[in-house]
Chains A and B, each alone.
Chain A
Amino acid sequence: MSADHGDGALAARVRRAETLLEERGVVDGAELDAILDRYLATGSPANGARVVARAWTDAGFRDRLLADANAAVTELGFRAGGLQPTLLRAVANTAEVHNVVVCTLCSCYPIALLGPSPSWYKSEAYRSRVVRDPRSVLAEFGLTLPDTVRVEVWDASAETRYLVVPRRPDGTDHLDDDKLAALVTRNGLIGTAAV
């Protein structure tokens, strides 16, 4: 399985394959570097936070985001995918439901909107435990949910990437989009924090 992201033998094979492709003129190394640099430079949890802040202040945007996240994020100048086409699905927390995202098979993650994933997201402990006992895992992150809230876990096991829309905190009616976005954390966008 693909648990061994630090696998030296696999990394060596990838480097060898890349070298062969460059030698035969199939790809240009500088071009590949430019694509990766551009991709990683633009991916950040600040993007996801701005999407959430807009969803909090604009009910129409929120509806469009939940119906078709790929189209909605382009309104803010973002792209859902990066190097390959991605179906983005936004899942909203409510008073009754709390959503949390995992990729049990590897580490699939909406990099364009959240940046590179945190190391714990790729750990076997998180991936195996959050689908089985999410309440305990969330409690370890400091998020204790009342029994009245149902937990929904989303396993990004194929080509869909998930973004959690946290609930807007109380007492934030006076804040603008920038200040609201500053409240949203990376863990909130994954579902391992309330916001």
Chain B
Amino acid sequence: MAERFAPGDRVVVRLDDPRGHTRAPRYVRGRHGVVVEVHGEHSLPDAVVARGDATPEPVYAVRFDAVELWGAGGHGVTVNLWQSYLQPDEVTA
């Protein structure tokens, strides 16, 4: 699957609340971050569990400022997220 994002791109994590398995941590859903690295292609766990679909897709390292996640803090948190979890951040792009 083609890479939709590149390092430096601003993204927002989809605010989904799926009924089944997902590996989009709840604490970053709906939060704005920046793609810092591309970490290869891997099967999307949601699709593997839901319908046995192991199609690989790009996974990114996305960095969030602590303030964006928690409203406070000077640290950064970098989370690995599958492409399907991400949308372009068009508001601040």
Instruction: Report A's interface with B, CB cutoff 8 A.
Output: 87, 89, 104-105, 131-135, 150-160
Contacts and interface: CB of A to CB of B under 8 A. Distances in A.
A50 B75 CA distance: 29
A128 to B, nearest CB: 9
Given A158-B39, A158-B82, A105 B76 contact: no
Nearest to A154: B78
Contacts of A160: 39, 59, 61, 80
Most chain A Cβ neighbours within 10 Å, of B25, B69, B81, B82: B25
24 contacts: A87-B39, A89-B39, A104-B25, A131-B77, A132-B69, A132-B73, A134-B75, A150-B74, A151-B74, A151-B76, A152-B77, A153-B75, A153-B77, A155-B77, A155-B80, A158-B23, A158-B39, A158-B81, A159-B42, A159-B80, A160-B39, A160-B59, A160-B61, A160-B80
Contact of B69 (A87, A105, A131, A150): A131
Contacts of B61: 89, 160
Contacts of B73: 132-133
Dominant SS among interface residues on chain B: strand
Interface in B1-48: 23, 25, 27, 37, 39-40, 42
A97 B42 CA distance: 29
A127 to B, nearest CB: 10
Contacts of A87: 39-40
A87 B61 CA distance: 12
Contacts of B39: 87, 89, 158-160
Contacts of B42: 158-159
Nearest to B45: A158
